[in-house]
Structure 1
């Protein structure tokens, strides 16, 4: 029976765990059969727009039209991961949660360094006795990058996830001596899609899964790509994704670091007769691509230029971020801007493999939980409860994809958009996941 739960908001910071975390680099072997696609090399933001138009044109299948064949990718890669355990852990056989982020994020999604980590999923999981391993997916963040069209695709990323899982089970995970008898997987969005594929391809690899920010309904994918107004990542945030460097010794940057961007822009506008209040100037900076262009110049530590190829894309600005990931009025504006400053790109190959070839019928026999914000725009079109009476919710329909699951549960988090962890009431979702695993004998105190 499908259980649909509406969770009341839970105050942030209600649970915290003294923890020990270790950043590790995990060597894996990518082994995946993947599509080979051919599209014109992107050279400008205009080309990114053309790609999005081609991809979303109704009545066409741009993925199939661009597919030229298949190849087996076989290459070594390094996955950046963070392993955490509670300081007071006394369990002889702890359960480890493997956490996979979605598009636009990296592993920090699970342990957001904002407002003294009050939005930390990892803190809540550790407070319930779990260990965690959060990863930068292959091709993203501090993990190995690769060709953004024909290498960094969903199957390659699932291959890395499988290797990491097997290391945790065998006791070969770097810097961790424990061989975990119970390994569960938690994903968000594209990370949930990869968790779904992992459980379908390797049903014995995981003991339980929680799919957050997820449904099997792809109706709103064209809407999402249209909202993103895709730009080349290296042009959108050149100091992070291009090959630009910041020289703080230069006279211009020294001036800029000592002058608030709001005051600087306001004075420039006043010099040409445009009178805007400080708030109006701030809003112009924060909600347009101007914010992306300059927001790293005032960072405490200058970013390391990643110099990613043009096949790495991102959404245009903070307003696009809000539309796709956030429910207005239910998130801290400061955290929203932080998420824009630290956003991660998406590759052409990931866009082509968003559906990732996962079978509609998943043979996994363990417990499955789907946790999605009620106002999720990407997977529910903004209202997960609007199903026309055919089901309790859009995410609840995922039950038909898991006919052999021992337990299936749906949680609808109220007043929450797609990026669950960025909302005021995120801990309500965090708690629901820990309770689900614990109640199904998958660890916890």
Structure 2
């Protein structure tokens, strides 16, 4: 599927394909694609599958695995972007630093199962991630057991990580990117108008249950406006990002606030890092959160996490999709250095 997308983009003149476009983790890493049987609610049978790619560093054993959770309209490519992977692959950087990664497609996204859209909610996302974490700890994924598990989320994936860690208390640290409790009201109003039925995108329509109108995506033209700071983004990256966009559900949108209800983040007692782009139109706009420095961002978020300490990283000139900006390496280094510090 990715090969067809790349070829189509090249045929339109929007993209020049190069050998570097192959999805690649750290060259010395060992990677394996797996599926994890899951249910979407407690007491239900494991009728669905979460797809993920487990990569373990080849140069030393890894006892810590980072579970990478993409946001709305993104799949696993966000963390292992198929263009100049030495620069845009967080997976590659984490593996090089000695961490295993489990880079997944969420329920209802990409290679994972697509239940009815009404069943793909914030809660079912959190519950399926919980089952992935349990499988990684047990060693039932590719025969490797991990004693330490960190959730690393982006945007909606960060909200899922918050809810999962609060309800199931099964992970050791949280990295929340593209996230803040106070979001720009203006941006939210505009985003509410930008939905696109997946029926208008044949590639995505083929993935979802026939006739299920609860699966949607975002209009191509508006993706750069909300995801990027254009002055720090490569046009080729933006083009490929649009060409590989994924789905979300109306049920996810209607339950997106469930991670912010009183008591969810207040229960968290594990180390937390928040990493945002200074020019994030959603989290760091003038009517949202003060991201002028790491200190101001941490101070704004600390009251929501009374039982733990919040650290922060602010990436200058970056927008909402921090992994896809020219200075993504700043974010990668900040996140990995923080995990090194808090997890030893």
After TM superposition, the score normalised by the length of structure 1 is 0.66
Which whole-Å CA distance do the structure 2 matches of 1:366 and 1:213 have between them?
19
Q: Which residue of 2 aligns with 1:39?
A: none
Q: Which residue of 1 aligns with 2:106?
A: 137
Q: Deviations over 1:57-115 (max 9, x none)?
A: xxxxxxxxxxxxxxx97662100101001111245xx1100110001110111111112
Deviation of 1:241 (Å): 2.1
Which whole-Å CA distance do the structure 1 matches of 2:198 and 2:136 have between them?
34
Q: Which residue of 2 aligns with 1:109?
A: 78
Q: Which residue of 1 aligns with 2:128?
A: 160
Which whole-Å CA distance do the structure 2 matches of 1:222 and 1:135 have between them?
26
Q: Which residue of 1 aligns with 2:49?
A: 78
Q: Which residue of 2 aligns with 1:5?
A: none
Question: The residue matched to 1:370 in structure 2 has which SS?
Answer: strand
Which whole-Å CA distance do the structure 2 matches of 1:310 and 1:433 have between them?
37
Question: The residue matched to 1:163 in structure 2 has which SS?
Answer: helix
Q: Which has the higher contact order (CA 8 A, sep 6+)?
A: 1
Deviation of 1:242 (Å): 2.9
Question: The residue matched to 1:440 in structure 2 has which SS?
Answer: helix
For the 8 Å contact 2:289–2:297, the answer to whether it is kept is yes
Deviation of 1:384 (Å): 6.7
Tell whether 2:208 aligns with 1:309. no
Tell whether 2:32 aligns with 1:18. no
What is the number of equivalent residue pairs in this alignment? Answer: 317
Q: Which residue of 2 aligns with 1:404?
A: 307
Q: Which residue of 2 aligns with 1:223?
A: 189
Which whole-Å CA distance do the structure 1 matches of 2:45 and 2:79 have between them?
29
Q: Which residue of 2 aligns with 1:124?
A: 93
Q: Deviations over 1:291-348 (max 9, x none)?
A: xxxxxxxxxxxxx798572211122223x01111000111110010100000012110
Q: Which residue of 1 aligns with 2:16?
A: none
Q: Which residue of 1 aligns with 2:177?
A: 212
Cα RMSD between the aligned structures? 2.6
Q: Which residue of 1 aligns with 2:204?
A: 241
Give the structure with the higher percent helix. 2
For the 8 Å contact 2:301–2:310, the answer to whether it is kept is no
How do residues 298-377 of structure 1 correspond to structure 2 at under 5 angstroms? Answer: 309-318=212-221, 320-361=222-263, 362-377=266-281
Gap regions ≥5 residues in structure 1: 1-14, 33-71, 244-303
Deviation of 1:191 (Å): 0.4
Gap regions ≥5 residues in structure 2: 1-24
Deviation of 1:402 (Å): 1.4
Larger Rg: 1
Relative to 1, partners in 2 of residues 1:232 and 1:440: Cα closer, same or farther, differing over 3 Å? same
How do residues 56-95 of structure 1 correspond to structure 2 at under 5 angstroms? Answer: 76-91=47-62, 94-95=63-64
Deviation of 1:380 (Å): 2.4
Relative to 1, partners in 2 of residues 1:26 and 1:439: Cα closer, same or farther, differing over 3 Å? same
Question: The residue matched to 2:50 in structure 1 has which SS?
Answer: strand
Deviation of 1:118 (Å): 2.5
Deviation of 1:215 (Å): 0.3
Residues 217-226 or 22-31, more deviating: 217-226
Q: Deviations over 1:347-381 (max 9, x none)?
A: 10011011125443432222110001111112222
Deviation of 1:401 (Å): 1.6
Q: Which residue of 2 aligns with 1:378?
A: 282
Q: 1:27 aligns with which of 19, 37, 46?
A: 37
Relative to 1, partners in 2 of residues 1:116 and 1:441: Cα closer, same or farther, differing over 3 Å? closer
Which whole-Å CA distance do the structure 2 matches of 1:118 and 1:347 have between them?
31
